[in-house]
């Protein structure tokens, strides 16, 4: 599976480098949905909600009404997860709130899973320098994604694994890291961060790992037609 990404900030579709620097502003969400029409599911992240700077609820609702989406950004309560599903999200992505100071936030994850079912939950494992990072990638934890997956499996149906070291930089990703993750869990894995060539997408697919693509398709580095041909 290939998931084109729509990241929202200030009512616009944007792409950031390393989660901080705005690299480009794209067409309207409606225009992007038309461009992504060949793909069965879209990934939507409300960056403002993720950063605690407001939210783009109207846009999220409009996108979810027109396409099958996995939606994340600021999902810190079971009520928020339920609200996104009610808005039309096929699945919700849980990031920072999945973790507590010394490990996983099992009570919250259990509450979210009960509210929307584990089948509708994807947990984000954003990693830099080998360790999971949270709070907008500003805080590094002491644990690795490989160590956490088995504890997180009961609460979700898959993992969104972002290789933050190269996110948005168009320098390639770490295929070996995704191989290790693939060996650590039978759950669905989606790779993100630095994927910048059709060869990398094919390599991920060969190991049964999905790809979430942002900068590579917004800059034209990877053709949407070439990606659609892989579906």
- Give tens-digit pLDDT for 86-132: 888 999 999 989 998 778 999 999 999 999 999 999 999 988 888 88
Confidence (pLDDT) at 114: 98
Q: Give yes or no for a contact between 13 and 27, defined as CB atoms under 8 angstroms apart.
A: yes
Active-site positions read 7, 126
Domains of the chain (ranges, CATH numbers)? 2-230 (3.20.20.70)
Token pair 């509450």 is found at 111
Average pLDDT over the chain, rounded to an integer: 91
pLDDT in tens, 8-22: 999 999 988 766 668
47 vs 201: CA distance, rounded Å = 25
Confidence (pLDDT) at 185: 97
Confidence (pLDDT) at 40: 96
The model's pTM: 0.92
Q: How far is CA 60 from the centre of its chain?
A: 15
Band (pLDDT 50/70/90 cuts) for residue 169 is low
28 vs 5: CA distance, rounded Å = 13
210 vs 225: CA distance, rounded Å = 17
């Amino acid at each position: 599976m290939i998931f084109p990404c729509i990241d929202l900030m200030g009512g616009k579709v944007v792409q950031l480098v390393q989660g901080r620097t705005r690299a480009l502003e794209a067409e309207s969400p409606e225009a992007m949905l038309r461009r992504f029409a060949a793909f069965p599911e879209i990934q939507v992240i409300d960056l403002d909600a993720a950063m605690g700077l407001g939210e783009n609820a109207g846009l999220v609702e409009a996108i979810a009404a027109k396409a099958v989406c996995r939606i994340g950004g600021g999902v810190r309560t079971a009520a928020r997860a339920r609200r996104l599903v009610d808005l039309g999200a096929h699945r919700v992505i849980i990031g920072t709130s999945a973790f507590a100071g010394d490990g996983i936030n099992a009570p919250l994850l259990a509450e979210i899973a009960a509210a929307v079912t584990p089948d509708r939950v994807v947990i984000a494992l954003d990693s830099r320098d080998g360790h999971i990072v949270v709070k907008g990638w500003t805080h590094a934890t002491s644990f690795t994604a490989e160590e956490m997956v088995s504890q997180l499996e009961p609460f979700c149906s898959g993992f969104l694994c972002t290789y933050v070291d190269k996110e948005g930089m168009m320098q390639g990703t770490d295929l070996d890291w995704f191989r290790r993750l693939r060996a650590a869990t039978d759950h669905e894995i989606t790779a993100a961060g630095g994927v910048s060539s059709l060869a990398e997408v094919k390599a991920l697919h060969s190991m049964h790992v999905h790809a979430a693509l942002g900068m590579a398709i917004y800059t034209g580095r990877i053709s949407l037609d070439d990606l659609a041909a892989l579906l």
